[in-house]
Every structure is written in C-alpha cells, then in structure tokens.
Amino acid sequence: MIFQALAFYLFALVAVGSAVMVISSRNPVHAVLFLILTFFNAAALFILMGAEFLGMILVIVYVGAVAVMFLFVVMMLDINFAELRQGFLRYLPIGAVVGLVLLAELLVVLGGWTFAPDASASVQSPAPGLEQVTNTRALGLLIYTHYLFLFQGAGIILLIAMIGAIVLTLRRREGARRQDIAAQVARRPADSVEVRKVPSGRGV
Amino acid sequence: MPTAEFPNLFPALPEIFLLVAAMALLMFGVFRKDDEAGPARVRCSRIVARLCILALLCALILVVTMNGSDRVTTFNGMFVVDRFAVYFKVLILISSALSILIAQDYLEVHRVARFEFPVLVVLASVGMMLMVSANDLMALYLGLEMQSLSLYIIASFQRDDQRSVEAGLKYFVLSALASGMLLYGSSLIYGFTGTTSFDAMAGALAAAPGEAVSLGALIGIVFILAGLAFKISAVPFHMWTPDVYEGAPTPVTAFFAVAPKLAAIALLLRVMMEPFGALTVQWQQVIVFISVASMALGAYAAIGQSNIKRLMAYSSIGHVGYALIGLAVGNEAGVRGVLIYMAIYLFMNIGAFTCILSMRRRGQMVVGINDLAGVSKSNPMLALALAIFMFSLAGIPPLAGFFGKLYIFLAAVQAGYFTLAIIGVLTSVVGAFYYIRIVKVMYFDEAEEVLDRRMDRPTALVMAATGILIAIFFIIPDPLLSQAQAAAQSLFGG
C-alpha cells in the first residue's frame, strides 16, 4: 500500500512538474520533450489504477504519434515562440482567475455528483470485475467478437481518411528528387566514374 | 474461455462485396502507372469509374436477390436487413451509379479526373448502406461518419478551385458540429436507457406508458434529431447547403442532393419509428416545426437566386420539408408517402443536374439562370428535359413530382393534419414560381450568346432516361407503390 502511495506521488509530482515546464520552457523543442514526459507519467498513473490498456494506448498514441507530430511541426515551422509569449506575465492574473473559476465550478459539479440509484441496474451488459479478467483481455474479447462490425467499420473510416489526405494534398512537383530503385541498381561504374590520367607534377 | 460465434455475414454481403471491390479498384488505380493530368491518368480514371458502376450494379443485384421478406439481424443485432433497408439501398445504389456516370465528363473537362473519385463515391455508398441498416446507435454513427468523410473529400475534389475547397471545409466543420450534437444525444440516450441497441431501446422507452417520459432521454432525442436534421439540411440546420452546393463540383452537388439525403431520411425514419416510436407525441412537434420551416424557407429563399446550383440547394431544403410531413404524420401511410417521395425526388434531381451539367458556353460551365435564355431554340432537347424536371419539381400533374406530393399530403389529410397539408400546398404554389421562371427563361427570353450544343453521351442518356421515367410515371406507378408499401409495412413490423 505504502509503495503504491509513494509511486503515485512520484508520478503525479513529475507529471505536474513537467506540465509546468511545457508552458514555461523557452525552447519549444524542450517543451515538446517535457510534454512527452508528462504523457509517460500519466500513463504510469493509469497503470497504477489498473487501467493498463489506457496506459499503453496513451504511450503509443500520444507519445508515438501526437508528440512526434508536434516535434515535426515545431521544427518545420518557423514560429517565434518568444514573441508569442510576450505579455505572458501581463495576462497571467486574468488567466489565473479564469483557471480558478473553472476549478471552483468543477469542484461544485463533482462535489454534488452522484450516480443515479437505478443506473447500475439498467445496464444491459455489465462489465466483469477487474479480478476476473484484465481490461486488455476484456476489451480484446469484446472488440474482436461482439463489436467486430464496429471495429471493421472504424477501420474503413480510417482508410477513407487516408485516401482523403492523399487525394487532397499529394502533388507531383517538378524537380523533386525521388528514389528510383531500378535506376540505382542498373547503374554501372562506367556511368559515374571517370578515370583520368593525371600527369605528374601538374595536379588535376 | 468464452467463445464467440462467428457472425452471419450473409445479410451484409452487398456491403462486403462493395468494400472489397472498392479496395481492389483502389489498388488497381494505385499500381497503374499514371502521369499528372495526362492521358494515362484520364484513361485509368475512366476504367475505374466503369468498374465502380459495375460493382454498384452487382451490389444492387445482390441486395435485390437476397431480399427475403423477413427482417434479419446480424453482428449481434447491430445490422438489420428488412424491406425498408432494401428499398433505400436500391435507391442509394442507383443514385451513386448515376452520379459516377454523369461525373466523368465534367471531371475530364476540369482536369481533375482521378480514379479516387468513383472509389470514394462507392465508399460513401457503403457508409449510406450501413446507415440504412443501422440497428444500434454506434452502427448509426459509424455509417454516418463513413459517408460524411467520403463526402468531405469529394466536395473539395477540385482542389485547385478555391470555392470547391471552401465548400469541403465548410461542410466538414459544420458537419463535425452536427456529429457532435448527434453523439451528445446518443450519450444521453445511452445514459437514460442503458443500451445503444435500437430494439432494447424501444423496449426501455416503451416500458412504462403511464409514467412521464424521462427528461434526459427527451433531450437526447432532440439532440439526435438536430444532428440528423443537419444531414438532411432541414431548417434551422440548413445554412451550409447553398454554399456547399454552389462551391462543390457540379456532379458532386448532384450526388450530395440525392444519395446522402436518402440515407439520412431513411435513418431518421428508422430511428424515430423503431426505438423512439413510443414517444411519437414527444418528437412530433419538433418534426412539424422543422418541416414547416423547411418548406417555407425552400419556397421563399429560392426566389431571389440567380445561380441555378444555389436554387437547387434551396429547392432541396424545401423538398426535405415535404418529405418530413410524412414523418410528422407518423403512421404507415405517412412513411409510405416519404418512401415514394424520396424515390421520385432521386430521379427528378439527378435529371435536373444532368441538365445543369450540360450548360456550357464555349466549353466552360455556366450556372447562371439567365444563361439558359434561348436554349429552347439552340438545344430543344435540353430545354424540354429541363422543363419536364422543373414542372415535376414544382409538382405539376401528370408528372411524377405531383404524385410524390400527392401521397404525402393524402397521408397528412387522412391522419387529420390539415394545417400541415395546407401549408405544404401553399408553399408548393410559391415554389412553382421559381421553377417555372426557369422554363420561362428558356422558352421566352432572347439570348445574346447561346449555350453549346455539345452533350456527352452518358449525361444525355441519363437525362433522357430520367426524363422519360418522370413523364410516364403516372402510367405505371404500381411497381414503386407496392415496393414502398411493403417497405413501410416492414418498418411497422407488419
């Protein structure tokens, strides 16, 4: 129990600390790296709660895809982050007030929140408890059997999105250098190497 | 170790066939050597378009031949095939095939003939077929997104044209908002009934007839209604329609005006009649409002339009209003009226768009209504066809459009909704003004410069076929009427 509590505070502290670093670090690349650290710690928190599937997905999707895309964007676009951050201190009080109001509202809502008494009775297909089956296994058992139709449908939707991205953005540019494997393989030394006889003492 | 039964794939065979065909054609197109906008690419797109039409026709045959008269569900009750679904699937497949057929020439002229276009239309039709067969909120949403995603892409297919891209983007943003509303409504419904399955939902909502209906479920229904009303562009969720119809490439507009509306109307009918059938009194007033507002806006806002694509957009808003009367009536006769109406609407609209696609001056597309001046002399067949479609859209007997409205109004009057029927008749009189104005421009105005005579063969064929169908519908209406009757019966468990 004590180990769990310690682990929780460790991950939670690192997560909050690195989240603060995301918005306060000067170098945007560092900010994205701190974001990745935040994701990792959040994933660890999920695992601590027994939701190992969510933890893994968080790492795969957010670290593997989203954060890497952020890195690309940060490196490819020439955004002056120092300029964007001008007036940060000036607007800090307003931001803090808005944040506090949101926090207060959240507390009010969550404080008065209870499950409807008959909600658990009206569930048509209740999920088995954690001690019976791990959640990755439970999800797998459902997604590939009961929800096969939806799973395949979602796959088709992703395929359509991919076709769309290609149709709407891919252009063949003049002068772009593409790899032509056949041409590479067919290349002979005679085409690219020139043997010259250099008279001694003259240089090339 | 729990084992799962392998789902019965047989009822979904047409969809599976179309998906496999679409993917195969995609591979075919990708692996064929092509060049940017060169002849090889055009040739490839032509082959793929033809094969896509063939695939759609094969799916049509599958849908029709596998149609038992009973209701079959599969995939754990998420997918349902009944006469109602079959009826709409046939219409959707016909409209997709016709859209691909009339699109090819336009795409080639505008140098955007790419093989992805017909494949995306096929994928959109699969999405629509899933919508029509959805028997679960999640299946509903997946079908809807599959359809919408394909539609966003083909709306901005002319990607070098700013208006086309704008249309795609506008449709995307607003449609995403509507999807959000739909999802919010679905989550409320799920929360209050504890299920996403339509069958179980109907049981949960109908369980206590004496008790007051829970407010949360009602709000959920209204949100779902709002999301679906957006998809059929009913007032007050119609704002995107004129802009998207105007900006999208014309054959895409033709497709937009027909197939997605068919699917969304089918979905709306099924959702309102099956799971929420017990709450008819509750949602009826919303549908009545949407219907009246759509009819009125469709009639009045179209009067000032000078662009024929925008005019067709307002016209489609109005027609959705008429179709919704049948839903508002909420009985079998009303649903039968909607089914007949949508079938006739399909042919009228595709026909009208073939005429719009044929409006060219010196090889360039024109879309102004005044550009039609003098067409009766330069191209009498086009003028005749467009006149037939316009008279039919206005609902003038003996053309098919009249019968569509007749059955809807008849159902409304029989069920005692006189006000709705009277408003419908009045707005169609107002609407007749702008339809007939087009005929007047064609036959009585003098043109400074006439339109080209050239028409490509597939478009001309589709125009002739739909024109003849519309004109002679009153001689042989029985096949459509009996099919619609059977489909409506199956929705009411008959």
* Model pLDDT for residues B14-52, shown as the tens digit of each residue: 999 999 999 999 999 888 866 665 788 888 899 999 999
| Helix (H), strand (E) at residue B74 | strand B72-74
pLDDT digits (tens, 9 = 90+) for B130-161: 999 999 999 999 999 999 999 999 999 998 88
Cβ contact B7–A148 (<8 Å): yes
Residue B61: how many other CB atoms lie within 10 Å: 12
- Position A49 in a domain: yes
* B314: its two tokens: 């307002």
- Whether A111 is in a domain gets the answer no
Contact state of B204 with A122 under an 8 Å Cβ cutoff: yes
Report how many domains make up chain A. Answer: 2
Residue A182 belongs to a domain: no
Three-state DSSP at A9 gives helix
Give the number of other Cβ atoms within 10 Å of residue B440's Cβ: 13
Which contacts qualify for B19-23: CB closer than 8 Å, 24 or more apart? B19/A156, B19/B123, B19/B126, B21/B51, B21/B52, B21/B55, B21/B58, B21/B59, B21/B122, B22/B52, B22/B55, B22/B119, B22/B122, B22/B123, B22/B126, B23/A159
Whether A187 is covered by a domain: the verdict is no
How many alpha carbons lie under 13 Å from residue B80 in its C-beta half-sphere? 29
Domain that holds residue A149: 127-171
Residue A70 within any structural domain of the chain: yes
The whole-angstrom distance between A152's CA and the closest CA on chain B is 10
Model confidence pLDDT, tens digit, residues B151-209: 999 999 998 889 999 999 999 999 999 999 999 999 999 888 888 899 888 888 876 65
For chain B, positions 63-82, list CB contacts with chain A under 8 A: 75-76, 78-79
Helix crossing, A148-169 with B137-155: angle to 10°?
10
User: Cα(B342)–Cα(B337) distance, rounded to whole angstroms?
Assistant: 9
Q: CA torsion angle for B212, B216, B219, B221 (degrees, to 10)?
A: -80
Ramachandran region, residue A21 (left: φ > 0; alpha: ψ -120 to 50; beta: rest): alpha
Question: Residue B323, Cα to own-chain centre: how many angstroms?
Answer: 12
pLDDT at B1: 45
pLDDT one-digit tens code per residue, B307-332: 999 999 999 999 999 999 999 998 89
pLDDT at residue number B34: 63
DSSP secondary structure letters along B271-328? HHHTTTGGGHHHHHHHHHHHHHHHHHHHHHHTTT--BHHHHHHHHHHHHHHHHHHHHH
Whole-angstrom distance, CA of residue B34 vs CA of residue B43 = 9
Residue B478, both tokens: 């029985």
Over range B455-466, report the average pLDDT. 90
Provide the 3-class DSSP secondary structure of residue B134. strand
CA dist B170 and B151 (Å) reads 12
Q: Is there a domain that residue A203 lies in?
A: no
Same domain, A70 and A138: no
Kindly state whether residues A59 and A131 are assigned to the same domain: no
- Residue-level pLDDT at A125: 60
Cα nearest neighbour of A167 on chain B: B116
Q: What is the CATH number of the domain that holds A19?
A: 1.20.120.1200
The answer to whether position A181 is within a domain reads no
Q: Kindly state the helix (H) or strand (E) to which residue B364 belongs, with its residue range.
A: strand B364-365
Question: Looking at A77, A92, A115, which one is the last position of a domain?
Answer: A77
Which residues of A fall below an 8 Å CB-CB distance to B?
119, 122-124, 141, 144-150, 153-154, 156-157, 159-161, 163-164, 166-168, 171-172
| Residues B74 and B59: beta-carbon distance below 8 Å | no
Q: Give the whole-angstrom CA distance, residue A39 versus residue A66.
A: 11
Reduced to 3 states, what is the DSSP secondary structure of residue B368?
strand
What confidence tens digit (pLDDT) does each residue in B73-120 have?
A: 888 889 999 999 999 999 999 999 999 999 999 998 888 888 999 999
Q: Which of A44, A77, A110 is the last residue of a domain?
A: A77
Torsion of Cα atoms, A163 then A164 then A166 then A167, to 10°: 110
The whole-angstrom distance between B360's CA and the closest CA on chain A is 27
Q: State the burial class of residue B58 (Cβ atoms within 10 Å of its Cβ: 0-12, 13-18, 19+).
A: middle
Euclidean distance between CA atoms B202 and B223, whole angstroms: 18
Rounded to the nearest 5 percent, the helix, strand and coil shares of chain B are 75, 5, 20
Judge if A133 and A73 occupy the same domain: no
Of B6 and B356, the structure prediction assigns the larger pLDDT to B356
- Interface residue B23 vs chain A (CB under 8 A): yes
* A181: amino acid identity, one letter: I
Over chain A (204 residues), the average pLDDT of each successive run of 10 is 91 95 85 92 92 92 89 80 74 91 93 75 65 82 87 95 91 77 86 83 74
Q: Tokens 């054609």 sit at which residue?
A: B25
pLDDT digits (tens, 9 = 90+) for B246-295: 999 999 999 999 999 999 999 999 999 988 888 888 899 999 999 999 99
Question: Does residue A131 lie in a domain region?
Answer: yes
Residues of B in contact with A124 (CB under 8 A): 194-195, 197, 200
- pLDDT, residue A134, reads 83
Instruction: Report pTM.
Output: 0.89
Long-range residue pairs from B34-42, CB within 8 A, at least 24 positions apart, any chain: B36/A171, B36/A172, B37/B111, B41/B113, B41/B114, B41/B115, B42/B108, B42/B113
**Rounded to the nearest 10 degrees, how much is the dihedral formed by the CA atoms of A44, A155, B125, B33?**
130
Per-residue pLDDT, B407: 93
Tell me: cis bond preceding B398? Omega within 30 of 0 counts. yes
Strands B364-365 and B360-361 come out as antiparallel
Nearest by CB: B116 against A153, A163, A172: A163
Return the percentage of chain B with pLDDT > 70, whole number. 96
pLDDT, greater one: A156 or B7: A156
pLDDT over 60 at B467, yes or no: yes
Residue at a domain's end among A77, A108, A142: A77
- Other C-beta atoms closer than 10 Å to the C-beta of B240 total 20
- Spatial contact of A148 and B75, defined as CB atoms under 8 Å apart: yes
Over 50: is that where the pLDDT of B305 sits? Answer: yes
pLDDT class of B450 with cuts at 50, 70, 90: confident
Looking at chain B, the whole-number percentage of residues with pLDDT higher than 90 is: 66
Count of CB atoms situated within 10 Å of the CB of B415: 16
pLDDT recorded at residue A119: 67
